[in-house]
Chain A
Amino acid sequence: MRELALHLLDIAENSVAAQAKNITLTVKEDLVNDRLRMTVQDDGKGMDADMAARVVDPFVTSRTTRKVGLGIPLLKEAAEACNGFLKIESAPGKGTTLTVEFQHGNIDRMPLGDISGTVLTLEVAYPNIHWRFIYQVNQKTFEFDDQPVKEALEGISLTEPEVIAYLRNSLREGVSELFQDQEIIQPN
């Protein structure tokens, strides 16, 4: 995968598979300390320490541990190649938080890519999950919580044309506002 946004989508799919009801995606770009951090936090079924250690290792993955694939090991490797790390905090019944961090300015760091595309995809495709998206660039923060939108719609599909347009615009405007007056160029 060539974009961190695609990895974010992939990790979020794991949370969905773990039967999470609430999932929070966070992206934090800190130019002062030259770090880029993404977290996916869920309230799914969680993993014991043994399983959490196993999902980051591609060589011990077996087909019976079905939600484990290549996604996490590849992302871990990419982060470590950029002075970063990937860690998983999890406990059975307590949910999982995956954190991945990169040196922001590392020449090998993948571009962030289409973050709003990733959020929009997850929003419409898993309408029964409560999604929160927090994007922070230096001191500015954009937060998108889908709860009020869903309450207003109450049972109407998120894939109605006007709703797609609304979600797309809200995400796009929120993200582009983050990059105003910053010495950083908006990805994608």
Chain B
Amino acid sequence: MPSVKSLDDLKKLREEALEKRKMKTAEGKAHVIVGMGTCGIAAGARDTMKAILEFIEKENLSGVVVTQTGCIGQCEKEPIVQVVIGDQEKVTYGKVNPETARRIMKEHVEAGHIVQDHVIPV
């Protein structure tokens, strides 16, 4: 992975990313959502988020969008992570510590297999 040091590097990176995007629109984008309400933060959601971003960086995973959301009313199951791949249905995971987050990224986001033992009903 080339290291980006300046704003000009970022502009170059943008061109490359646009090219890549053209090639992979058919695959369907992955969207990862981390619950970041007071309950989520207190339960360790920032570390979960950090693990997800580190995974993307380490595995050089392009095309994943990570965002966050507030409390979804299941505070006792925080940290909560939701994954949407393409037009598939949203999958909600509970009690996602950094280790579980890495598993979800590897097995679900990268390989397409839902991590069943952490799925929670919503």
Contact = CB atoms under 8 A, between A and B. Distances in A.
A126 B37 CA distance: 14
B86 to A, nearest CB: 16
B7 A121 contact: no
Interface stretch (A79-87, A97-105, A152-160, A177-185): A152-160
B111 interface: no
Given A70-B38, A154-B14, A165-B1, A159 B7 contact: no
A149 B10 contact: yes
Given A9-B36, A152-B14, A153-B14, A121 B56 contact: no
Contacts of B7: 148-149, 152
Nearest to A71: B38
A69 interface: yes
A163 B56 CA distance: 10
Interface residues of B, number: 37
A13 to B, nearest CB: 6
A10 B66 contact: no
Nearest to A1: B42
B119 interface: no
Interface string A1-16: 1000010011001000
Interface of B: 1-5, 7-11, 13-14, 17-18, 34, 36-38, 41-42, 46, 49-50, 53, 56-57, 59-62, 64-68, 70-71
